[in-house]
Structure 1
Amino acid sequence: MTPHRPDEPHASQPAPNWQEESPYPAVPEPDFAVRRITLIALLIAAIVLPCVYVAASAYASFRARVAEATDITLRTVRIGEEHALKVFDLNETLDARIDDFVRGLSNDAVRAQEATIHEKLNTIGGGYPQVASVSIFGPDGMLLANSRYYPAPHASIADRDDFTGIRDGKVIEHVSKVMIGRVGAGETVFNSGIARRNADGSFGGLVSVALRQSYFDAFYRELLGSEASAVTMTLMREDGAVLASFPLLPAAQRQPAPRPELASALAAARRDGVLHTRDDGASANGGAEIIAYRRVGSYPVYVSCAYREAALRADWYRHLAVLMVSVFTPSIVLWLMIGLSLKRLAAEEQAWARWQAEASMRRSIESAYRQSRKMEALGNLVGSVAHDFNNLLMIVSANVQIARRRGNRPAEGELSAIERALKGGQSLTRQLLGVARKQPLRSETIEFARWMDASRELLRASLGAKVELVIEVRADVWPIHVDVAELELALINIAVNARDAMPNGGRFTVRAGNVSLRHGDGFPLTGDFVQISLDDTGSGMGRDVLAHAFEPLFTTKPKGMGTGLGLPQVFAFCERSGGLATIDSAIGAGTSVRLYLPRSNAVAAAAPAAEPRREEPAVSGGLNILLVEDNDEVAAGTEALLQMMGHTVHYVFNADAALRLVEHPAAPFDLVISDIHMPGAMNGIDLAEAIEALPAPVPVILVTGYAEELERARNVKARVLSKPFDIALLEKILQTIRREREQRAQPAGKPG
Structure 2
Amino acid sequence: MTPDRFDPPQASRHSAGPRDEALFPAVPEQNFHVRRMTLIALLIAAIVLPCAYVAAMAFSDLRAREADATDMTLRTVRVAEEHALKVFDMNETLDSRIVDLTQGLDDDGIRAGESVIHDKLRTMGGGYPQVAAVSIFGRDGDLLASSRFSPAPSMSIAGREDFTGIRDGKDIEHVSKVMVGHVAGEQVFNMGVARLAADGAFAGVVSVALRPSYFSAFYRELLGGSDDTPMIMSLIRTDGAILAHYPRGPHEPVAVSPQSPLAQALAQVRRAGVVRMRSDLDGDDLILAYRRVGAYPVYVSCGYRASAIWGGWYRHLSVLILSMFTPSIVLWCVIWLSLRRLGAEEEAWERWQAEASMRRSIESAYRQSRKMEALGNLVGSVAHDFNNLLMIVSANVQIARRRGAAGLDREMSAIERALKSGQSLTRQLLGVARKQPLRNETLALERWLPACRELLRASLGAKISLVMDIGVEIWPMRVDVAELELALINIAVNARDAMRNGGRFTVRATNITFRHEDGFPLVGDFVQLSLEDTGGGMPPDVLARAFEPLFTTKPKGMGTGLGLPQVFAFCERSGGLAAIDSAIGAGTSVRLYLPRAAAAPEAERPAEPGVEEAGTPHGLRILLVEDNDEVAAGTEALLQMMGHQVTWVFNADTALRLFDDAHARQARTGEPLPFDLVLSDIHMPGTMNGIDLAEAVQAFDTRLPVILVTGYAEELDRARHVDVRVLSKPFDIALLDKLLQTIQRDLTQTGTHSAAHPAD
Distance 1:635 1:437 in 2: 27
Q: What is the 5 A alignment of 1:153-164?
A: none
Q: Of 443, 457, 470, which residue of structure 2 is paired with 1:460?
A: 457
Q: What is the 5 A alignment of 1:338-377?
A: 356-357=353-354, 359-377=356-374
Distance 1:537 1:397 in 2: 41
1:696 aligned partner:
702
1:565 aligned partner:
562
Q: Of 12, 34, 41, which residue of structure 2 is paired with 1:19?
A: 12
* 1:361 positional shift: 4.1
1:672 aligned partner:
678
* 1:436 positional shift: 0.9
Any idea what SS the aligned residue of 1:702 has? strand
Q: Of 395, 398, 403, which residue of structure 1 is paired with 2:392?
A: 395
Q: Specify the code of the residue in structure 2 equivalent to 1:739.
A: R
1:188 aligned partner:
none
* 1:344 positional shift: 12
* 1:564 positional shift: 0.8
In structure 2, relative to structure 1, the CA distance for the partners of 1:713 and 1:554 (3 Å cut) is same
Distance 2:511 2:445 in 1: 11
Q: Of 391, 394, 409, which residue of structure 2 is paired with 1:412?
A: 409
Deviations 1:345-368, CA, capped at 9 Å, x for gaps: 999987766655555444444433
Check conservation: 2:487, 2:566, Cα contact below 8 A: yes
1:555 aligned partner:
552
Check conservation: 1:622, 1:646, Cα contact below 8 A: yes
Check conservation: 1:467, 1:507, Cα contact below 8 A: yes
In structure 2, relative to structure 1, the CA distance for the partners of 1:707 and 1:464 (3 Å cut) is same
1:320 aligned partner:
none
1:167 aligned partner:
none
Higher relative contact order (CA 8 A, sep 6+): 2
1:481 aligned partner:
478
Q: Specify the code of the residue in structure 1 equivalent to 2:703.
A: P
Structure 1 residues without counterparts, runs of 5 or longer: 1-11, 43-339, 748-752
Distance 2:548 2:27 in 1: 32
Residue correspondences, number? 441
Check conservation: 1:19, 1:367, Cα contact below 8 A: yes
Structure 2 residues without counterparts, runs of 5 or longer: 42-335, 666-672, 754-760
Check conservation: 1:619, 1:735, Cα contact below 8 A: no
* 1:552 positional shift: 1.0
* 1:374 positional shift: 2.2
1:521 aligned partner:
518
In structure 2, relative to structure 1, the CA distance for the partners of 1:656 and 1:701 (3 Å cut) is same
In structure 2, relative to structure 1, the CA distance for the partners of 1:658 and 1:735 (3 Å cut) is same
Rg larger in structure: 2
Q: What is the 5 A alignment of 1:75-114?
A: none
1:613 aligned partner:
610
* 1:461 positional shift: 1.5
Distance 1:542 1:436 in 2: 27
2:623 aligned partner:
626
Check conservation: 1:391, 1:705, Cα contact below 8 A: no
Distance 1:588 1:30 in 2: 42
* 1:501 positional shift: 0.8
Distance 2:625 2:691 in 1: 12
1:726 aligned partner:
732
Any idea what SS the aligned residue of 1:469 has? strand
Q: Specify the code of the residue in structure 1 equivalent to 2:484.
A: L
In structure 2, relative to structure 1, the CA distance for the partners of 1:32 and 1:486 (3 Å cut) is farther
* 1:413 positional shift: 0.8
Check conservation: 1:401, 1:641, Cα contact below 8 A: yes
Check conservation: 2:10, 2:365, Cα contact below 8 A: no
Q: Specify the code of the residue in structure 1 equivalent to 2:686.
A: G
Distance 1:357 1:522 in 2: 22
Distance 2:6 2:722 in 1: 42
Q: Specify the code of the residue in structure 2 equivalent to 1:514.
A: N
Any idea what SS the aligned residue of 2:408 has? helix
- Percent identity over paired residues: 72
Distance 1:348 1:548 in 2: 39
1:179 aligned partner:
none
2:235 aligned partner:
none
* 1:629 positional shift: 0.7
In structure 2, relative to structure 1, the CA distance for the partners of 1:373 and 1:714 (3 Å cut) is same
Q: What is the 5 A alignment of 1:24-103?
A: 24=20
1:264 aligned partner:
none
Distance 1:604 1:547 in 2: 37
In structure 2, relative to structure 1, the CA distance for the partners of 1:419 and 1:614 (3 Å cut) is same
Any idea what SS the aligned residue of 2:375 has? helix
1:712 aligned partner:
718
In structure 2, relative to structure 1, the CA distance for the partners of 1:601 and 1:361 (3 Å cut) is farther
* 1:392 positional shift: 0.2
* 1:16 positional shift: 4.8
Distance 1:370 1:32 in 2: 35
Check conservation: 2:536, 2:587, Cα contact below 8 A: yes
1:735 aligned partner:
741
Distance 1:32 1:508 in 2: 53
Q: Specify the code of the residue in structure 2 equivalent to 1:492.
A: I
Q: Specify the code of the residue in structure 2 equivalent to 1:642.
A: L
Distance 2:395 2:564 in 1: 32
* 1:577 positional shift: 1.7
Distance 1:684 1:669 in 2: 16
Distance 1:570 1:596 in 2: 11
CA RMSD of aligned residues (A): 3.5
Check conservation: 2:509, 2:529, Cα contact below 8 A: yes
Deviations 1:509-545, CA, capped at 9 Å, x for gaps: 1122222323343432233322222111112111111
Check conservation: 1:508, 1:537, Cα contact below 8 A: yes
* 1:546 positional shift: 1.2
Check conservation: 2:511, 2:527, Cα contact below 8 A: yes
Q: Specify the code of the residue in structure 1 equivalent to 2:695.
A: E
* 1:681 positional shift: 1.0
Q: Specify the code of the residue in structure 1 equivalent to 2:684.
A: M
Q: Specify the code of the residue in structure 1 equivalent to 2:466.
A: L
Distance 2:30 2:344 in 1: 14
In structure 2, relative to structure 1, the CA distance for the partners of 1:451 and 1:744 (3 Å cut) is closer
